Structure 1
Amino acid sequence: MPSDRTSEGKERLKTIQEAAVEQNVALIRSIPQQFHNRVVQDVYTALTNGWPLDELVQSLRHHYGVTRKRAAFIARDQNRAITARLNVAQALAAWGTDVEAQWWHVAGGETHPRMSHVAAHGTRFRLSEGCCIDGEHIQPGEKIGCKCWFSIHILGFD
């Protein structure tokens, strides 16, 4: 039987996941606003039920009439951004709010990388605050199309 702490942690992650889905879907401009609630349901169902991304792509194409290329981008980006937010939440829960992280830019496959993300490669930052890039504190993977990630920096293990 799970402990109360485990149940609280799962509920917290579920709440974070739900909020992340809603926030990320709100950023989609190629699907009319009146369909965003349905897209939220599709993305959340895909994540919680473990749909392959192609099923989400098909759902987006079928329900909202976007091209396969656009639907694939939306599905990948939603999955990546929400996973990044959950990773941050889990790391903060495990290591506390004072933990430092290191920003890693993912090179390859991009024709126009964000130069500010490239410049931040290897930068240490407080995970609870995010890394200051372009004048704002953000988390790796948060921005549309961002593939950056973080690693936890644990003192004494340099």
Structure 2
Amino acid sequence: MANRVKTRYPLRIEQSYGRNISNLINEIGKITLNEFDQTLSADIDKERLKKDDRFIQDGLLDVANKLIKKVKVLSLGALGNTDANKIATKYLNGVNTFSKSNVNSQLSAKGINPLEKESWLKEYMKSKIAENVSYITNIRDEYTTKFEQIIYRGVTSGQSSKDMRDELVNLVGITESRAQFIARDQTGTILGQMNAQRHQRAGLIAFIWSDSGDERVRQSHHERNGKIYYYADDPLLPGTDYGCRCVAEPLDEKEIEEYLKGGM
């Protein structure tokens, strides 16, 4: 229909958010690998040549303990709560601006006045920023915990410095993937919730589920594609399932009638 404006997905915002988190994780990775290379790596190779196993373990564990403590401090310095808050705030503001602009274009096309005052938004934004700060700092904390496990396991099992370093390099990659997933998951969820609030407050009572149309769409969501859902029924919102990039195409009453008659 001529008066329909498609619901868009903020892919660039998602990608930017993922990059920002990943950049900080990469920085922590560089710091931790450098500390490993400067301290424990050389000691491992020297101590493995000695014959007194008890001395070897005690000596390396002492170095390992100091390394782990230092890495935790440096990680907090590289990615503190203030850094996480800045990233999350910029990200939420970006998604909010994107959503509001898109929805207002949809409303204008349907002859509905654009949204102005939004009393619900302040608390929602505050909550989502706090939630995303938690996700970001959890990534950091999970990284340092796994770093600690790799170091202790390697020291006590007699692992070579090269094998331990390879595990640490792999850990950075795994952590980056986690950051990308959070960016994708949160973007779909936040966009879906914001759009739903704005659609309903503008008097739009239903939507058509629209999937992202690529090979990553899960089968259950593809089966929803093109079907109508009513907000009053409290349905699963597009984008709010984990890692979902589906969107809701809002319908006014005239469009609902046409849809039910098979005219859309």
In the superposition, the TM-score normalised over structure 2's length comes to 0.36
Q: Which has the higher contact order (CA 8 A, sep 6+)?
A: 2
Partner of 1:155: 253
Aligned pairs (5 A) from 1:18-57 = 18-19=126-127, 21=128, 40=131, 42=133
Structure 1 or 2: more helix by fraction? 2
% identical equivalent positions? 22
Q: Structure 1 residue 121: deviation in Å? A: 0.8
Distance 1:128 1:106 in 2: 24
Instruction: Give the aligned residue type for 2:242.
Output: I
Partner of 1:142: 240
Between structure 1 and structure 2, the one with the greater Rg is: 2
Partner of 2:211: 105
1:15 to 107, 110, 123: 123
- Aligned residues of 2:192 and 2:248 also touching (Cα < 8 A): no
Partner of 2:230: 126
Q: 1:17 to 1:128 in 2, by over 3 A?
A: farther
Q: Structure 1 residue 18: deviation in Å? A: 4.5
Partner of 1:30: none
- Aligned residues of 1:13 and 1:89 also touching (Cα < 8 A): no
Distance 1:92 1:145 in 2: 24
Which contiguous aligned blocks of 4+ residues in structure 1 show a shift greater than 6 angstroms? none
Corresponding residue pairs, total: 112
The one-character-per-residue Cα deviations of 1:56-112 (angstroms, maximum 9, x if unpaired) are 6xx66545426101111112211221121111111111125xx121111112151xx
Unaligned segments of structure 2, at least 5 residues:
1-114, 144-173, 259-264
Structure 1 or 2: more strand by fraction? 1
Q: 1:68 to 1:41 in 2, by over 3 A?
A: closer
Report the 3-state secondary structure (helix = DSSP H, G, I; strand = E; otherwise coil) of the residue aligned with 1:156: helix
Give the aligned CA root-mean-square deviation in angstroms: 3.0
Q: Structure 1 residue 127: deviation in Å? A: 2.1
Distance 1:43 1:127 in 2: 29
Distance 2:243 2:225 in 1: 16
Distance 1:72 1:126 in 2: 31
